[in-house]
Structure 1
Amino acid sequence: MDDIPDAVLAALAGPVAAALPLLVARTPAAPAVELGRLRAAVDGLAWPVRPGSGSHAAPGGLRSRGRRGPGGSPVLDALGALEELLVQRLLGALELTVAELDLTAAPDLTGFLGEPFTGGYSVVSMGRKSEAVTGAATLERIRPGALPLVAALAGRLATHPHIAAVLEVDPGATDEAGIAAAHGAARLALGVATAAAVLHRVGIGAWATEPPTVLGAGIGTAVLLLRAAPVPDGYGAAVLARARAEYRLPNRSGGSALVSEHRFALTEGTDVPRADFTGNGLVAVVPGGAVIRTGVETGHVGFTLVVLDGPPPDVETIWEEVVEVSWRATGSGAAVPGPHERAPDPRRCTPPWPGDYRLRVHALGRDEPDDRGSEHYQLMVWQAPAAPEIVHARTDRLGHRLRGEPEPVRPERPEAVYRWLRDSSIGEAATVTVAIGTAVADVVAAFGADPARPESARALVDDLSRRRSIDPWVAVLDLGGAVLAVEYNGWQGSTAPVLIRASAGGRAASMYWNVNAVTRLSFAEHGELLLAVEPSGDLGAPPALAAALGDLDFADRHRDRRRMGLVAVQGFTGHGITAEHLARIAAADVAFRIVPDLPALHPDRRPRADHPLGPGIDVLTGLPEPRLRDLAWWAAAEAARYAGLGADPDVAASLAARALTPDAVRRARRSQLDDGEHRTFWLALHQATNPDPVTAVLATVHAARYVAGPHAADLIAGARARIA
């Protein structure tokens, strides 16, 4: 597009320049700020930019270096890099303004597009993309040269004397958001005005001049302009001023540090310089920060950055290496560059003002670089005069090697035998249960499964995936003297009824974990539950578990609770799980569907201000138990009536006996499965059996009103009348 004559460009500059003030005035501040930060984010200057708002875009020129859009267009690429909500906000704000623009004086540009396609066409749109994105994509398909023409003309117009002055940010603006907004709004206006002028004067047709199409082309072009435009004068100073004004102490942050060649840095720059670690074996001070020596060669390590307003407390004993050094800051704020960050979040930096600082580096897990996730660092920073280096702890083997000292002999932690767990099929979520003294079939039955009905585990998983079901199932393995039960993403083995039944002939223990870091460690012996807790801190374990728990420190937040829990299960039962066991289970391809137990019933006297009985709740505690039982079973009978199950033999027998019959129990348990029937009704019937009469009334009425559906008000009114 460089062959466009200067005369044509000059003729276009006038109407485009005239349209800019109106577009700038109509552009909302918030999206203008987001646009204005695009190039600043690439240059490492911007205030944090929301993911998806262009912070991953490549800088330089009006050509995209990233993936191509649907039509291979840099404009579509740039438009697609924006968060959809931002595009929608701009479409809503400027849609009517585009129709007001007077571009009749723009020159005829028909000759710059070449011959149009001939014949008919149809447009099919799937999904719910913004009209601006759909319009620009349709334009690219039908007239491929239109978007490049808009981008090329806007790029040249940006330097035209009539327009360049409009694009300049007012030198009086000093705040970061104000500068970014002015910068973004001006280039957005140029992109939209150019798009409107071009699409009105290239002879494509009226459909191409619709506001969504114009704005799609204009917004994408504006992103390209902003990537190419230099950061406004004074913006870097404004970012620093805002960071200083908003910085608060103490400040705690953390994340994942990118490691290369055994090192990462806390630095005011972007480079991680080479350093000599032979002095203390952990940290080396460099201009603008410090470099930390890691055990892992390449990858990521976890870190925590703690900025204090004074000296930190004493060093915790959990750390293996701790070294304290001094460094001088220039005032821009040092940070640990993350794996996906172009510009560090100013709120995750050291104080953005100059001076002398102390840095205390804590390291853990450097001797186990192959055990991903075990290596962690804590960086403590506070302002203090320069002082000599202090070594608080020097116990890991790597530090001794780097310092040229004999390596210490350190026993391996017991949970290290479960390193393989992380990358296994049960690494994210599972329950592992081991039972001794109980036959395989009895363990299967203890889970609520039928040992006479095995099926293919692969087929079962495929069936559940197809139905998007989380129905429970279990796979078992005879270890010779013990039974290993594994639930992939299941939890039944962590429940008291299952463990009590599984331990009837001896002992049973389980360890449960899920993707949300929820865990549960449980033990039972001869049908008695000994302990079932979230393993954290002091477990409050009975003496019978002392040997099984050994020196496992569940209070140490840097040790893997899943692995320690499996060590405890092994210590209690004498058997653990191995990768070879999982392989055998997979090869056997045998699984059993579980029919889960009904929820445990406990007294619940919590205040329930939102309960449908309202003020009637306070009266319940003064009623005699027989009357409370009558009320609970009345609610259960009403639930049966509303569900149309009053004549069902199992239901009628349970209501008459005021207890679930064995057949009713089986049906109630099955109702909890995805294909179960009348789940809420069976829950109401089950709740009526609660040993605590007040809870029985509250829970049964609560469940019954859902069964009643549109008649819930009548049920509640009947319950209140019986309380009065």
Structure 2
Amino acid sequence: MSDGAIAYYSRMLDEHALSEAACWTVIEPIGEPITIETVAQRLGAEPADIRERPWTAAYDEPGDVQVVHLAQAGAAVVMVEVNGFQGKAQIERLSEEARVHSAYWNVNAVSSLSCAAYGQLLVAFEGLFPDQRHGIDICALDEELDPLYVALHALHDDEGDSLWAVMMAIVERRTGIRFDEEWLSEDCPAILLPQTRRHRKAIEHGGFFDPELEAALWLASSTAYQAFTHDLVELLVEVGELADEPEIQPILECLAAEGPVGDQRYQPLEQFAARTGDDFENTSIAMPVRTSRTWRRMHAAWALQHALVPPAHTPRAVHSLLALRLILGDQWLPVRNRLRRHLLRTP
């Protein structure tokens, strides 16, 4: 994306007081054009309830009422919410027969960048933590995220672009639709969504990035899981370039001796993972981020820790798989198939 797009959104957010709390959502139909009336219905409102309202309407309504402004943008529909979050909360429903991108932030610096299609969440993450992703295709936005990493690295110096502006520029880059500043100068169609509105059952998802692989992981026998873990660890050491680290050789020896997951001999991994995290924070970041050696090492070390000293609430290496998926990007599929073979049931 261009620096001009980021600068445009930075200025617009500041000049129109949108940097505090807003949600910008673009709904692109797959097939026939979508209308603002259809979007209103998906949100639980009636088309007859659409009224022209000012952009300040959100601050004029009672606290339990959310205002969603809607605008037609060619075959697509855009949603703008001042101090709202329906684009984020209902992204899967909005993506029925459509692709949806949504950027959200609030006064507490909580934020989200998300993408869904055909009623399924592809990827979502907190803007401040773009590596902590969930969805069924966590690398769906990879090609657009480098400016976000740059902005995050500049935060500690109080420099760089607004994260919210970068997220909006990512949505524009993905959809080709710009937030038209002229929309803010006039009343636009909007709906009110009170807490008592007609609710539709939410589309449920498990937040997995690879449901089939993760299910097989949970259901694997102890023997299969041991073989899987051994291979996973070797892969993480390789892709993270960790083999020469003093903590790693004893770990590999323990694993070769069939030391069980959770063995005390794996405990040094906690400090090792923390050290690689510090290394990443204290060095300039390479772009694209996947080429950054410190970034890869940080994620590989963290994944090793979670594979061999897993937290009680996730005793299997689900989070380690997610980290490996992030590191590998387009190279994930053959590795995924290699790991999956350990979990195949045998007669």
TM-score by length of 1: 0.24
Q: Which has the larger radius of gyration?
A: 1
TM-score by length of 2: 0.47
Where is the helix percentage greater, Structure 1 or Structure 2? 2
Tell which has more relative contact order, 1 or 2 (C-alpha 8 A, sep 6+).
2
